[in-house]
Structure 1
Amino acid sequence: MAYDQDLADRVRELIAAERGVEEKTMFGGLAFLINGNMSVAVSGKGGLMVRVPPEETPTLLTREHVTPMVMAGRETRGWLRVSAEGVKAKRQLQSWVGRGVDYAKRLPPK
């Protein structure tokens, strides 16, 4: 499944003012990097993948429309999947994109 172009455009609009933004196709989706660090990605499986502080993962998993990101059969702490329903409204998307971008900006540049 190809990633949602409309969702990618909505993410682009939200991060347009950020410095150091780069887009890369990865994992069947489109990742948005800040200074070389992934922040969010429009998933080829639908919805959004969001990078968060690993210690916040358990708390954020209690939210509606949020599931763990699983790669190679293992949960990836510090990454979440937010379903398309969870980013339908601009306010929802803005919150998740902001969270991912803020965390990526705190990481050392690559």
Structure 2
Amino acid sequence: MAYDRETADRVRRMLAVRDDVVEKRMVGGGLSFSVGGRMCCGVTATGLLVRLGRDGVTAALAEPHVGPMVLGGRTLSGFVLVDRAGYATDPDLAAWVRRALALVAGHA
């Protein structure tokens, strides 16, 4: 699976103000963004992978356009996959990125 390059560029622009961002290819062809050495979010061909932690996942799964992140038949705890409709606008995408950044910052 390749990743959505347009969404990756949008995430990249949002994280450009930071100097601790590292991009890495994910298994399956996605692209992940780590901040401060911790995975924050990622882009797949079909959606946005967002790290929210176990507590954050429960609340997020009740929101529209959000589902569990399944990789290789296994649900990844602490992550959700947001469909494109859930981050169609820059403010929507920024809100998801901020949520992931808040979790990563809390684990410093």
Taking structure 2 as the reference length, the TM-score comes to 0.90
Match of 1:15 in 2: 15
**1:55, CA displacement in angstroms?**
1.2
Paired with 1:75 and 1:26, the residues of 2 have a C-alpha distance of 16
SS in 1 for 2:69: strand
Paired with 2:89 and 2:25, the residues of 1 have a C-alpha distance of 24
Equivalent AA in structure 2 for residue 90 of structure 1: D
Residues 83-98 of structure 1 aligned to structure 2 (within 5 Å): 83-98=83-98
Q: Which runs of 5+ in 2 are unaligned?
A: none
Equivalent AA in structure 1 for residue 37 of structure 2: G
**1:86, CA displacement in angstroms?**
0.9
SS in 1 for 2:80: strand
**1:8, CA displacement in angstroms?**
0.5
Match of 1:30 in 2: 31
Q: Which runs of 5+ in 1 are unaligned?
A: none
Match of 1:41 in 2: 42
Residues 33-72 of structure 1 aligned to structure 2 (within 5 Å): 33-44=34-45, 46-72=46-72
Paired with 1:19 and 1:53, the residues of 2 have a C-alpha distance of 23
CA deviation vs aligned residue, 1:68-101 (integer Å, no higher than 9, x gap) = 0112323222100001111111111000011112
The alignment covers a number of residue pairs equal to 107
Q: What's the % identity of the aligned pairs?
A: 37
Equivalent AA in structure 2 for residue 30 of structure 1: L
CA deviation vs aligned residue, 1:25-55 (integer Å, no higher than 9, x gap) = 11211100012111000113x1100000211
Taking structure 1 as the reference length, the TM-score comes to 0.89
